[in-house]
Structure 1
Amino acid sequence: MNRLPFFVYGTLLRGEANHDAFLRGRTLSETPATLTGALLYEGPGYPYAVETPEAHGGVVHGELVTADPAAYPQLLAALDELEEYAPGDPAHLYERVARDVTRTSDAARVRAWVYVAAPTVAAELRASGQLIKGGDWRPR
């Protein structure tokens, strides 16, 4: 299993609804980071990152979360369940994909797992979704 860190941008951020239940005590670090090539859309109480062609820009602000190695398998399973991600399930809401994110503190590019809107959800959001201007879930 590829044990990448996670890029979180919504309810898993520090101070948000799911942070303590899923991440507290299971991480080594949580540092500000950005994902380029995506736009952030409102969901029903949580956001969706929707990937865009590089020419369209877009930046999503969030945090790069490095999991405690001892907690990694359980954390990965819990986050997949939270995000309703099941490989090969056409009805899932998110896809877990490996993407490069930029750590804000030193501009380092880091490969991380990111939960992005599944293709059907992304198409609906592009057509009629509410864009979160600035790509930051917190000040919405």
Structure 2
Amino acid sequence: MLVAGLISYWSVVTAPPPITLEIPPSTGADTMQATTIPSDLAWFDPRHAIAYATLALSLEYALDYRETTSPQTDERRSYERTIARMALLVLVVTIGYGALMEAGQLFRPDRVASLADAASNGIGATAALVLSGLERWT
């Protein structure tokens, strides 16, 4: 809940800070204020990927399914199916939450909603779950 709350706060509630560009002294200007650079100019935003990877791992940890029986063949397959379903549920919830946050930005004049950000969210969540799955199976 904490991770989701922080993502919501930074996505919808707060306005992004202005970016200050410093111009070399040879041009005669000391500093120049630039408008906020929309995040959809860069296709992949690592800040989004990190935030949603953290959310996915937090959800996975909260819903952690632990094997309580000996890993017999049929029981092991059932366990693997349960893990796969849990990972799919976490991925759907995380990507849905990211889409909801992007939709919320549509109603904020100082924010920019973009499909590139939503894609970055999904890539971060997917990468985190894949790496977590690889760790689980080793």
Q: Which has the higher contact order (CA 8 A, sep 6+)?
A: 2
Same fold (TM over 0.5): no
Q: TM-score per shorter chain, which class?
A: under 0.3
Larger fraction in helix: 2
Larger Rg belongs to? 2
TM-score, L = length of structure 2: 0.26
TM-score, L = length of structure 1: 0.26
